[in-house]
């Protein structure tokens, strides 16, 4: 039976991936040297399609990593001078804080309970932060932040770099890149690609910071230091042998999303999210986890189940619908439903029909 994945990563593959992968194999693209003109063309296309889809300005760079987790470590090494500030309201926002701590920094965190937005008006901070991270869409809880609030907060710390974890909401989020210094995602969520590629979009202020930190003699890592990434990106290459098939598929899927139109993708995402939220709000066996409607994520819908979810997940799986479990401490008690571009309105209707009974 063909399965439909509503899991928030790895997730359902974008419908055109199968055909693009076969095409890449047929053309033997994945055996070519990563120093060849053929690879440079694949790389350049992926970069330009990502930038166009996300509305990224000319003077921002796109760097490739193995995952978003790696990007956290590289940001910690290359962009964090003294004090970072982390708004923690779930597992992923927490993880960046933990990684920076493991690197030997002493980051600050402003915590709020799971299922709530962040506190944009924290008590006075002991240090003025030089890097502020926002997790735009907390995949563990289904909470989305307001970009306007982020821009307002940033105005208080004009010197700080603002980094945006967009892993489970890009390309849906319409980011104003004049307000953000770096944004990042990995491809196995909303882009509907096989896992194994992290993408960082870094602006001039982030690159200047990285250059200053390196010039001060600090350890910024080796092959994936920003200087090394930049040197190769200027040639449409990567320092190491990259995940060529992933870079190729990213370019192709972004091209498909561009032909569909980002506004169309956003409208469909909202329509599917509304159907799911409306259904769960009126069904007595479920309770929406995120109480404030404006905090509810359009791309990851989280609901509490009345009973342990095991029987329900198995019943859905028997029908070919694979739904995400609660994350971490919420395992067994919640459904997490990915509403990514790869799932159709028809898929969502089928899921709702099965959940109705």
Ligand X SMILES: *Cc1c(COP(=O)(O)O)cnc(C)c1O
Tokens of 224: 């994936």
Write the DSSP assignment of 202-222 as a string of letters: E-HHHHHHHHHHHHTT----S
Comparison of 142 and 279: residue with beta carbon closer to ligand X: 142
Considering the complex, what minimum distance in angstroms separates the CB of residue 195 from ligand X?
A: 6
27's torsion region: left (phi>0), alpha (psi -120 to 50) or beta?
A: alpha
Considering the complex, what minimum distance in angstroms separates the CB of residue 66 from ligand X?
A: 8
Comparison of 335 and 355: residue with beta carbon closer to ligand X: 335
Other Cβ atoms less than 10 A from the Cβ of 299: the count is 24
Comparison of 135 and 214: residue with beta carbon closer to ligand X: 135
Q: Which residue carries 């319409």 as its tokens?
A: 174
Tokens of 207: 């690159």
Comparison of 214 and 245: residue with beta carbon closer to ligand X: 245
Question: In whole angstroms, what is the distance from residue 296 CA to residue 74 CA?
Answer: 30
Other Cβ atoms less than 10 A from the Cβ of 151: the count is 15
Q: How do strand 334-338 and strand 321-325 relate by DSSP bridges?
A: antiparallel
Comparison of 54 and 355: residue with beta carbon closer to ligand X: 54
Binding site for ligand X (CB under 6 A): 9, 67-69, 92, 135, 139, 165, 167-168, 186, 189, 198
Considering the complex, what minimum distance in angstroms separates the CB of residue 136 from ligand X?
A: 8
Considering the complex, what minimum distance in angstroms separates the CB of residue 8 from ligand X?
A: 7
DSSP label of 296: B
Considering the complex, what minimum distance in angstroms separates the CB of residue 336 from ligand X?
A: 10
Considering the complex, what minimum distance in angstroms separates the CB of residue 189 from ligand X?
A: 6
Question: In whole angstroms, what is the distance from residue 262 CA to residue 251 CA?
Answer: 15
Comparison of 107 and 214: residue with beta carbon closer to ligand X: 107
Burial class (CB in 10 A: 0-12, 13-18, 19+), 352: middle
Comparison of 189 and 214: residue with beta carbon closer to ligand X: 189
237's torsion region: left (phi>0), alpha (psi -120 to 50) or beta?
A: beta
Considering the complex, what minimum distance in angstroms separates the CB of residue 19 from ligand X?
A: 24
Comparison of 67 and 146: residue with beta carbon closer to ligand X: 67
Other Cβ atoms less than 10 A from the Cβ of 152: the count is 13
Considering the complex, what minimum distance in angstroms separates the CB of residue 254 from ligand X?
A: 17
Secondary structure of residue 332 in the 3-state scheme: coil
């Amino acid at each position: 039976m063909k399965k439909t994945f509503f899991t928030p990563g790895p997730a359902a593959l974008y419908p055109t991936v199968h055909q693009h992968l076969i095409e890449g194999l047929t053309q033997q693209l994945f055996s070519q040297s990563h120093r060849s003109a053929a690879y440079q063309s694949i790389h350049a296309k992926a970069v330009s399609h990502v930038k166009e889809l996300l509305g990224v300005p000319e003077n921002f760079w796109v760097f490739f990593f193995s995952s978003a987790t790696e990007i956290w470590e590289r940001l910690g090494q290359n962009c964090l001078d003294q004090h970072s500030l982390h708004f923690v309201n779930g597992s992923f926002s927490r993880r960046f804080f933990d990684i920076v701590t493991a690197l030997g920094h002493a980051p600050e965190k402003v915590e709020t309970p799971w299922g709530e937005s962040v506190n944009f008006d924290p008590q006075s901070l002991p240090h003025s932060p030089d890097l502020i991270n926002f997790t735009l869409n907390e995949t563990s809880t289904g909470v989305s932040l307001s970009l306007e609030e982020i821009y307002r907060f940033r105005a208080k710390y004009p010197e700080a770099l603002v980094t945006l974890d967009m892993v489970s909401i890009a390309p849906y989020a319409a980011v104003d890149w004049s307000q953000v210094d770096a944004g990042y995602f990995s491809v196995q969520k909303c882009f509907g690609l096989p896992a194994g590629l992290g993408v960082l979009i870094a602006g001039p202020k982030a690159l200047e910071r990285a250059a200053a930190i390196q010039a001060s003699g600090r350890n910024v890592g080796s092959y994936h230091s920003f200087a090394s990434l930049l040197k190769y990106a200027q040639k449409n290459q990567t320092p190491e042998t990259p995940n060529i098939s992933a870079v190729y598929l990213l370019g192709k899927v972004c091209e498909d999303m561009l032909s569909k139109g980002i506004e169309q993708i956003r409208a469909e995402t909202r329509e599917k999210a509304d159907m799911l939220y409306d259904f769960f709000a009126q069904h007595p066996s479920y309770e929406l986890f995120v109480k404030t409607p404006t905090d509810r994520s359009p791309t990851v819908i989280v609901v509490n189940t009345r009973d342990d979810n095991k029987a329900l997940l198995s019943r859905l799986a028997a029908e070919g619908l694979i739904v995400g479990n609660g994350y971490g401490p919420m395992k067994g008690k919640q459904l997490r439903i990915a509403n990514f571009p790869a799932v159709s309105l028809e898929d969502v209707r089928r899921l709702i029909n099965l959940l109705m009974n």
